[in-house]
Structure 1
Amino acid sequence: MTLFPDWQGDLVLPPPSERKIRVGGNLIFQRPFRGARCRAQIAPSQYKGHDLIKTNLAAPFDQILLRRKGARRLKSTLPVLNAGHLSGLGDLTESTALFWDSPGALEDYAATPEQVLALWRNKFTFRAENEVEQEPGLRMPQIGALHAIAAHFAVGEQFEPATVVLPTGTGKTETMLATQVYRQLHRTLVLVPSDALRTQIFEKFVTLGVLPDAGVVPGQLPGPHVAKITTGLQSIEECRALIERANVIVALPDSLNSFPPDARAYLLDQCSDIFVDEAHHVTASTWAAVRDRFLDKRILQFTATPFRRDGKRVDGKIIFNYKLGDAQKAGYYRPINLRTVEEYGDDAARDRAIAEKAVAVLRRDRDELGLDHLLMARTRNRDRADIVWALYQELAPELHPVIVYSGPGRRQINAAALDKVLDGSADGARIVVCVDMLGEGFDLPNLKIAALHDTHKSLAVTLQFIGRFTRKGATGTIGEATVVANIADPEAETKLAALYAEGADWDVLIKRLSEERIHEELQLQDVVMSLKERGDLHAQLSLWNLRPALSTQIFRTRCTSWSPLAYEAVLPGGAESWYALDEENNLLVAVVHRTSTVDWGNYQNLENAVYDLLLARWDQAAGALFIYASDYQGLRTERMARAITSDETELLSGPAVFRILNNVEMPLVKSMGSSRIGAISFTSYFGPNVTEGLASIEKAESQLNNIACLGYEDGERVLWGGTQRKGKIWQQKSGTISTWMEWCNRTWTKVSSDVELDSNITRDFLRPQKLTAPHGAYPIAVQWGEQAQMRFSDRQFMLFDSTEVPVFLIDLGIGAVGDDGAIDIDIATEGSRSTYRLRIAADLPGGYSHDWVSGPRLKFKRAHAAEAVPLEEYLLTDPFIVRYADGTHSYNCYHIPTPLEPATYPKESLEAWDWAGIPLNRESMNRAGDRDTIQYRAFQHIENQFDLIFNDDGHGEAADLVALKDTGDGIRLCLIHCKNAHGGRISADIRNFYTLCGQAQKSMAVKHGGLPRLYVDLKRRHETWSKQGASRFLKGDMKLLSYFKEKARRAKVDFEVVLVQPGASAETVTPEILRLLATTELFLTKTTQARFRVVVSSV
């Protein structure tokens, strides 16, 4: 600087020309100088017509010539600027536009990758951002990640792949750039998952992003030479030409894999480092093939989530994991409001419900709150995007919805659409519809409303999608994010559950705000929110996803207050715990970590690590304490109960425990244990042996200790278990915390009942009795055994000779019944039938046999089984269940008496229909839809009563007609069983009702299997007909059936069974028929609470 310059002040130096070359069609780009504001002095120079500018910048920007107006150009090693038509230095200001007249030394400045690295040496400064003082710098997670990266690669020569986890919006891309500059990496390959992100990352490396503005690198620092691979290089020579000119290569794996193998290998081998952006994609074989070429080099993976698309963790060592909770505490994230709709209709109805809610949120944010928010609607494919876009165009045309998705000819259309999204004027788009997302890495803080019309395929992408909506933006114009989802969509519910499972931090971010949430969800929300008020458990894991078993010990208390945190004093030595306490509801939830020695050897250094769940709830009004523990003995629950209440607290034990079986119909013991009175002995009984155990108890030879009992309660199949010594009560289910609390309340109502406990509590238990001869009642139905029913899917087959037939397409029926009581069981499918005879006699091996009679000899096979087994062998372990006219059933040679004791079915309850013109021996309408049939006339009678009617007639049917009706808050499910008249005329023949009543009793399996399973069965049978050009839908369609399946997850199903037999009339039915009907009605009432109707002839 001169003592008395002609001019001094601030100048803005312009950026020089950018360097661009192409190799094999791929662009290599460099910006050697991004321009800079500097302090400057101007004085005369030795060159005529030129002044000398001296700046406070480093060479070659420290001395620059300024050509005056009218002066001739000159050649100089110094760069030369031109001020255009500037007449004199007196007119020169900071805003004067300057242009490069001659590059001089700039021509060779940072011209090669090696020169760039040399100029980067020691130019990086660790400078932390200070928002309070408004001082620029890097964010703390970026600085932490940089130190972790340096530490990881500082020791040794062989390095494990390293993963850096930075949530979306915390500066992941800038951390990449800083790593490149700080560590002066020789040649880095950057792998990205999409074309949009390839362009974005390419531009970031060219400009070095915000690093200069953050003050961590000088403003004049040259940018790297960056190659963008968009087309394949065809030779090693082309690869060499590109390698020699690039510091950074940005590519998609697919682009690299389009190279010839030798060229690709050469390029990858010449790179010193690899950055993998969005590393949850590394499962793809194309990604792995590229990355694995770097296993002996430095691999650095960046991701917003450590979870891959398949749910597993990203490979490699996580060297830095900045959690979502950390990001929110630092203010990088704002809470996400989850607003839900509950729509079970077809796609159009679901889309409209989501769109209307999302648009309402957008209008509220913009019009009422004054926030500059945008809405993104996500769909799964282009066709869906077009449909959803049209919907938003209808609902909010003034918000100018646009659509973005990839495909031929879409590049310019998408660019124009995104320009409209970025346009803040009144003509700008406030709604954008896209497939998946706008491309991973697309950054627009105003995108604060997400409408999930289709849920993301993977948790990792879901996290990315929701995460980008929480980035901080301009204070005052950007508020909290909102996600709109349809909770009637099981995929959405599953993905949200998985999101919570990934980490507790999403609890902090997601605020559930549904006006349409059902009662159970509201209860859980209240409980979870209350539990967060005290304790630290919610910071460790998501309370939403806790699923305790429905199990408890109950203690009677006499205290007036409790000390729940005293639980810690009872835990085993060395145990560590985290708790959450809801003081309003007197609920404690804790997770306990403890260790124990291994039990398979004597090793001091080997330990088992165990995590246990503990729940304790004190009902002060009832004087009852409920404790659940995943390990009751290990957590010392009886001592714990006294520690948190008082020493007077007593365990509820003894016979009162078995009050859990109150109101359980037709209880069948699955297992039990008893202790011998007067001796120290304990015996367990299972299966048919429980009869022996029950007899011993009733003779007062032994005392019942524990029991697991299957039965029916409130029309549902239940299994209760209890042990009177330990006082433990359980059901074979699990649920949320609020579900457990409600279950405890119901259980307390049972065990604290004032009803005197019958001393003979086992009297009404069903118990298997071994038969030495066939049962006397007439067999009316046969069904698959329990194992086959539990796995009723197309993964079970019966082999008719060499033909495999899925079990769901096979019909079981009673054929002939011999004079000796032998039962012929018909096993039929379309085009084939076999008959096996069940014989029961004392002189048979095992007391029974299944003998082949006719048709193909059958074999049973499960998918993945080594081979099929003969049917007779399969039935040894999973026997057919035979149902009888007296309401009892048997399997193999064991009979289960059922004390139904019915009256007679009232004649006045019979419904009489007119069957004029219908031959009474023609039952089925078949595929052709024959109208002169019993089934079609039944359809005509019920057509206006239901929304959907399905012709399920055929092998493996649930009923001849399956009917469904939406009742608003519930679903009416009706099974209509039709049967032709025996002999084709009206008569008093009881055989008209044997098969019908058998089908009715088998309907129990349909009710307890639930609508989702029925949906699968009906769908399969409909698809079989569809292949032959026929439809089973008499009313409604598959979309409506799907609607009922989804609604059934949240709605009560009212069950109804209708028997249709025109071969009887009120005048011809006999007392035996009425007793059979009454038995069937009572059986269905006890097991399903079904409404039972019987239709006969009016003539």
Structure 2
Amino acid sequence: MAVETGKYADVYRSWQQHLFNFNLAVRETQTPGLRKPQLAALYAALGHLVMAPATPATIVMPTGTGKTDTMLGLLIAGRLTRTLVLVPSDPLRSQLVEKCTELKKLREIGAVSATALNPVVRAIGSSLSADEVQQLVEANVIVATPQALQRFEQPTLEALAGLCSHLIIDEAHHVAAQTWSRVKNAFNNKPCLQFTATPFREDNQPLDGKIIYNYPLKDAQNDGYFKAIEFHPVREYNLELADQVVADKAVALLRDDRARGFNHLLIVRARSQKRAAELFELYKQHEDLSPILIHSKVHNRAKLLGEIVEKKYKIIVCVNMLGEGFDLPELKIAAIHDQHRSPAVTLQFIGRLTRVDDTLGDAKFVANIANQKVDYQMAALYKENADWSAVIRDVSQDKIAREIEKETFIEQFPEDANAEDIFGLNPNPKISAIAYHVELEYWRPEKAKHFSHKKESLQLLSINEEADTIIMVTRRETPVSWAHTSSIVDTNWVLYLAYYHTPDKTLFVHSSGDESQTNRFLNLISKDARRISGEPTFRTLHGIKLMKLQNVGLSRMRKGLRFTMHVGRDINTVIGEIENGTARKSNIFATGYEDGQRTTVGCSHKGKIWEMNSSSINDWIEWCKRASQKLNDATINPSEVLKDVLRSEKIEAAWPEGLFYADWPTSILIENEQKISLVDRAEVFNLLDVELGKPRRIDALTLEVPMRATAVDGAERQLPDITIRLLDDDYKFSCPEVRIVLPEESSFEQYLDINPLVLLAVDGSMVEGNYRYYSPNSLDLKLPVALIEPWDWGTTQIHKESMRVDRNLDTVQGFTYRRIENDYSFIFNDDGAGEIADLVAIKHNKDAIFIDLYHCKYCPQQDGQARPGARVSDVYEVCGQASRSVKWLHTEEKFFNRLLQRYQQSLPKGFDRILKGDPLDLELLRNKCHDHEMVFRFVIVQPGISADKVSADQLAVLGTSYSYIKSVSGSDVRVITSI
């Protein structure tokens, strides 16, 4: 520390002699003093600085509860020698310098007396040299942004850290940024206090630092630190009108408040500069309210901000402005045209408008509650009768509770440097383990402390006795492979994990090292451990539907051939050997579906089990618990787990007959399908709005797959066909006119060459690339006749399929709607390219949401008449549509978002898709889907099939679709026909 001289020394000496007044304000008697959260936070911070000064700590105080003055009070009450205060923005830096220089509020309430001199404050606004940093010795407080410190050379930054005794970070949820982390690293082992209203980072990672004080938002509301919040919803599903409706409502509220004598201002929130400019056109007509547009690229921004503070403008249209660090109590009305999707940012934004000021009224928020695209917690804000005061309290408490829950798990480990260092590494192990049966008395986690090996040294160890978990990190040095010398070595860091699942007496061990290292660790922490190996290991394959083996290792008992590895077309040949006992399973890695979701699973005869995934230690433990259930289930016969596995065979000479369905590659899930687009002749189509038709067999070596799409204007477009050529030992896709965007634009046909379409054949097999996949037990399955339900269609024009805009009930879709209308509370007409189903029918109870997807198809006319019969062509397309819709399983709110999007897009064309119910029903269901089970059922409606004349070919196609849907979803398929 530099020598203390001049004014700096005078100030610091005055702080040492000063007695900070910790009196609590009493509102009833108007006794001045600290607010309750300020007093509690100061006590917590001072205690932490005494007990654990080298450990980063977090203080949670909602916006408007006096967080800034708490930080300033800590400087004097804690007699901090020299403090660097890190803030996220230039406006906040300027405001903090001003407040710190005067200590105005602390002096007004009597917390700081005249004995204590105001600090010498310096602001860092640009890069400094090491010599210039030393001149900051004159300051008691240094205020900087991470952007300014980013320009510091490392030696200069270290010089600044050496000069300061403490680091305080304001708005600490920004600390994830690399610029902040660099500063924190420079201050390692120095006291670091983080202040924030929202202790969760925007990247969903935990905020480093133990929460030593949390003032709940509920208490802040009850204690009167927030004005009440009024929510004024509008409901406009026509996107072309929504902005005007929000603007009209917000301006009306502003005029009413100002007429009642409140000097309120209106802030208009937009997500982008382009959107802000569009919205400004709506507001600038109100000239008497002096609208202004401001964002980062507006000229004279600093001048405009000053004029905004002077309240020259009554309506402020902005993009991410007037947020953190901007203190203007008159901002009381917000028009939210574009919602924040992040709870953290939403809470910050709301807090700016809810500060207590007796001369001002309550905060008011206006938003369009139709089809909110936010997470389920934020969706609660946009309900018809939402109590925003309660919602932001509950969301805040829930998010903070999760952060505290994470800390609780970590705190179960000993409070020592090892645990802190381990979790500071953010471990993300591969999901893998070897399982052992171990009696409880032989589980000895404390023995891990005695780890010792001449080539491997223990570096970090932490034991969670409550959760039966060990985390250990070692350092191993081995000779390099390319030289005979001991002067240089390879250094490897090895992670060890152990989890004991008490109900099954099963120990799971993970190591990033080799088998000998794993065994050494196992023998240290347990006794008489019996590895779960051999056939029981393969129980982990149980319950995997449409299982496709990616690679298989076999142990053989032939002379000179002990082990073989098989991939691709070799796999189906060896499955028979496994089943007849001529070869033994050594290791298997497979993909498939479990509970309707894609999954991976690997297992070996030696006992190793794994997924193709890495995740947190918490997730690894949960995976171990699920694996334990299968490994210890004696009712699972390992010899039967492969009975339904998909075989593969290479397609040669000709494409197979009977291909009736095409879908996107298996790599495209519904979660990313909405983020992918196709471009055709400069027109962009979201992949969800593109539909693949029935593959056409042009000749033995050529397939064509038609594409149609719904454009932005709602019109249907026919896109270029996708051509698939079968080559001698390969395949080739062709669609040169189309490009794919994910997220960058590239060749669509090149993408398909790597990620081929999935084609379904009548016999139940699937084609990907130039390979055909099938399960012998599901080939040529016929639909169970019991699932056929014949209807009397009367005089319905069954050759007409769709109701269209005019709701023509004399159609297949219209008759179906009339037939089912009384069975459901909500029915949606989703007919058209990109549909989920022709009719989406929903009913629900207190526990579950039942969603029936009706896929309708017309009966083609022959000689001017539509006659039901046994034509197999009548079932191809409708079965393909039903098979395709199974991908909407487990999509939760995305399913309802899609319906709401389709509803909104159709309204400008006069097409109201809701046949029964109203849009509010969709919103309520979207909110409920997070805590209700969603049960999907699938219905094929084809009056062209005669139940009396149904053919074997028709039953085969229906059976293939039934088998596919049943395997993925577990649901049965109803088939509606004619009599």
State the TM-score, normalizing by the size of structure 2: 0.64
User: Aligned letter for 1:894?
Assistant: Y
Give the residue type in structure 1 aligned to 2:761. Answer: Y
CA contact (8 A) 1:280 1:309 kept: no
Select 1:900's aligned residue among 778, 783, 802: 778
Is the 8 Å Cα contact of residues 670 and 686 (structure 1) preserved in structure 2? yes
Whole-Å Cα distance in 1 between the matches of residues 13 and 871 of structure 2? 99
Question: What is the one-letter code of the residue matched to 1:832?
Answer: Q
Query: For 1:583-608, what per-residue CA distance to the aligned partner results, in whole angstroms no more than 9, with x for missing partners?
Result: 4xx61242536476897999989986
- Opposite residue 303 of structure 1, the aligned amino acid is I
Tell me what 1:832 maps to. Answer: 718
Where 2:180 maps in the other structure, the secondary structure is: coil
Question: Is 2:648 the counterpart of 1:768?
Answer: yes
Distance change in 2, residues 1:1023/1:438 (3 Å) = closer
Q: How far does the alpha carbon of each residue in 1:622-657 deviate from its partner, in whole angstroms, 9 at most, with x for none?
A: 442223x362538933332232221x2122122321
2:933 is the counterpart of 1:1052: yes
Identify the structure with the greater helix proportion. 2
Structure 2 residue identity aligned to 1:952: D
| Match of residue 82 from structure 1 | none
Distance 1:1048 1:595, change over 3 A: farther
Q: Distance in 2 between matches of 1:272 and 1:1003?
A: 68
The answer to whether the 8 A contact 1:919-1:932 is kept is yes
Aligned to 1:649: 529
1:322 counterpart residue number: 191
CA contact (8 A) 2:501 2:507 kept: yes
Return the alpha-carbon distance in structure 1 between the equivalents of residues 516 and 377 of structure 2. 37
Q: Equivalent of 1:1000, from 872, 877, 882?
A: 882
- For the aligned residue pairs, the C-alpha RMSD in angstroms reads 6.4
1:860-939 mapped onto 2 (5 Å cutoff): 860-863=739-742, 865=744, 867-868=746-747, 871=749, 873-898=750-775, 899-900=777-778, 905=783, 907=785, 909-939=787-817
Once the two structures are superposed, residues 973-1005 of structure 1 have per-residue CA deviations (whole angstroms, 9 ceiling, x without a partner) of 322110000323322323222222222222332
Deviation digits for residues 317-356 of structure 1 (CA, Å, limit 9, x no counterpart): 446553459999xxx98653879xxxxxxxxxxxxxxxxx
Question: Secondary structure of the residue that 2:553 maps to in structure 1?
Answer: strand
Matched residue, 1:205:
101
Asked whether the 8 Å contact 2:439–2:505 carries over to 1, the reply is yes
Structure 1 contact 904–1075 (Cα < 8 Å) conserved: yes
Q: Secondary structure at the match of 1:575?
A: strand
- Following superposition, the deviation at residue 786 of structure 1 comes to 2.0
Q: Is the 8 A contact 2:707 2:721 kept in 1?
A: yes
Offset at 1:658? 1.1
In 2 relative to 1, CA 1035–133 (structure 1 residues): closer, same or farther, beyond 3 Å? closer
2-structure distance, mates of 1:122, 1:682: 82
Of all paired residues, the percent bearing the same amino acid is 20
Task: Measure, in 2, the Cα distance between the counterparts of 1:372 and 1:606.
Answer: 64
**Residue matched to 1:47:** none
Residue in structure 2 matching 1:536, options 409, 415, 425: 415
> Structure 2 regions of 5+ residues with no counterpart?
24-32, 34-38, 50-55, 61-66, 127-134, 200-209, 234-242, 254-261, 269-288, 292-304, 310-319, 330-338, 355-372, 380-392, 710-715
Aligned amino acid, residue 322 of structure 1 = P
> 1:377-416, aligned counterparts within 5 Å?
none
1:786 equivalent to 2:684? Answer no
Deviation of the 1:539 alpha carbon: 5.8
Query: For residue 977 of structure 1, what is the aligned residue in structure 2?
Result: 855
| CA distance in 1: counterparts of 2:822 and 2:860, whole angstroms | 30
Structure-to-structure mapping, 1:414-429, within 5 angstroms: none
Question: Over residues 405-462 of structure 1, what are the superposed CA-to-partner deviations in whole Å (9 max), with x where a residue is unaligned?
Answer: 8798999xx99xxxxxxxxxxxxxxxxxxx9999759999xxxxxxxxx989586997
Residues 982 and 601 of structure 1, relative CA distance in 2, 3 Å threshold: same
2:191 maps to amino acid: Y
Structure with greater Cα Rg: 1
Q: 5 Å matches for 1:539-550?
A: 550=431
Cα distance change, pair 810–166 in 1 and its aligned pair in 2 (3 A): closer
**RCO comparison, higher one (Cα < 8 Å, 6+):** 2
What is the CA-CA distance between 1:1088 and the residue it aligns to?
0.9
Cα distance in 2 for partners of 1:194, 1:376 equals 30
Q: Distance in 2 between matches of 1:904 and 1:555?
A: 44
Q: Which residue of 1 aligns with 2:827?
A: 949
1:427-438 correspondence runs (5 A): none
| Alignment-derived partner of residue 451 in structure 1 | none
Aligned partner of residue 814 in structure 1, secondary structure: coil
Amino acid at match of 2:767: S
**For the Cα contact (< 8 Å) 1:178–1:211, is it kept in 2?**
no
Q: Does residue 1:986 correspond to 2:882, yes or no?
A: no
Distance in 2 (alpha carbons) for counterparts of 1:657 and 1:948: 47
Letter of the structure 1 residue corresponding to residue 871 of structure 2: D
Q: Per-residue deviation at 1:900?
A: 1.7
Q: Mark the runs of 5 or more structure 1 residues left unpaired by the alignment.
A: 1-116, 146-162, 225-246, 257-269, 340-357, 366-370, 392-400, 416-434, 445-453, 470-487, 495-511
Q: Where do residues 430-509 of structure 1 align in structure 2 (5 Å cutoff)?
A: 490=375
Q: Does the aligned pair in 2 maintain the 1:309–1:459 contact within 8 Å?
A: no
Shift of the 515–625 alpha-carbon distance from structure 1 to 2, 3 Å rule, reads: farther
Alignment-mate amino acid for residue 174 of structure 2: R
Conservation of the 8 A alpha-carbon contact between 1:923 and 1:978: yes
The Cα of 1:694 is off from its aligned counterpart by 4.2
Q: How many Å apart are 1:1089 and its aligned residue?
A: 0.8
Which deviates further from its counterpart, 756-765 or 944-953? 756-765
Task: Please name the residue that 1:705 is paired with.
Answer: 586
CA distance in 2, matches of 1:932, 1:122: 92
Q: Tell me: CA distance 1:561–1:374, structure 2 relative to 1, closer, same or farther (3 Å).
A: farther
The one of 833, 846, 855 aligned to 2:729: 846
In the TM superposition, 1:1082-1093 aligns within 5 A as: 1082-1093=963-974
Cα distance, 1:1057 vs structure 2? 0.3
Q: Distance in 2 between matches of 1:274 and 1:461?
A: 36
Residue number in structure 2 paired with 1:159: none
Contact 2:780 2:956 survives alignment (8 Å): yes
Cα deviation for residue 669 of structure 1 reads 0.3
**Residue of structure 1 in register with 2:624 after alignment:** 744
CA 837–144 in structure 1, closer or farther in 2 if over 3 Å, else same: closer
Q: Which residue of 2 aligns with 1:659?
A: 539
Number of aligned residue pairs: give it. Answer: 799
Work out the CA distance in 1 between the residues paired with 2:112 and 2:191: 21
Kept in 1: contact 2:58–2:194 (CA 8 A): no
Counterpart of 1:666 in 2: which secondary structure? strand
Instruction: Using the TM superposition, give the Cα deviation of residue 1063 of structure 1 relative to its aligned residue in structure 2, in angstroms.
Output: 2.2
Counterpart mapping for 1:136-535 below 5 A: 168=67, 171-174=70-73, 202=98, 205-206=101-102, 219=115, 282=147, 303-304=169-170, 308=174, 311-314=177-180, 317-318=183-184, 322-323=191-192, 335-336=213-214, 358=218, 490=375, 532=411, 535=414
Contact 2:480 2:490 in 1 (8 A): no
Does the 8 Å CA contact 1:191/1:250 hold for their aligned counterparts?
no
- What is aligned with 1:1025? 906
TM-score for the superposition, normalised by structure 1? 0.58
Counterpart of 2:459 in structure 1 is 576
* C-alpha distance in 1 between matches for 2:327 and 2:98: 13
Which residue pairs with 2:284 in the alignment?
none
1:524/1:570 CA distance change after superposition, 3 Å: farther
Cα deviations by residue, 1:1039-1093 (Å, 9 ceiling, x for unpaired)? 6545545544444321200111122343332344345434433332222111321
- Which range is displaced more, 878-887 or 590-599? 590-599
- Matches of 1:654 and 1:908, distance apart in 2: 42
Aligned match of 2:285: none
From the superposition, tell whether residues 600 and 1068 of structure 1 become closer, same or farther in structure 2 (CA, over 3 Å): same
State whether residues 779 and 883 of structure 1, in contact with CA within 8 Å, keep that contact through their aligned partners in structure 2: yes
1:945–1:377 CA distance, 2 compared to 1 (3 A):
same
| Contact 2:85–2:168 (CA under 8 A) maintained in structure 1 | no
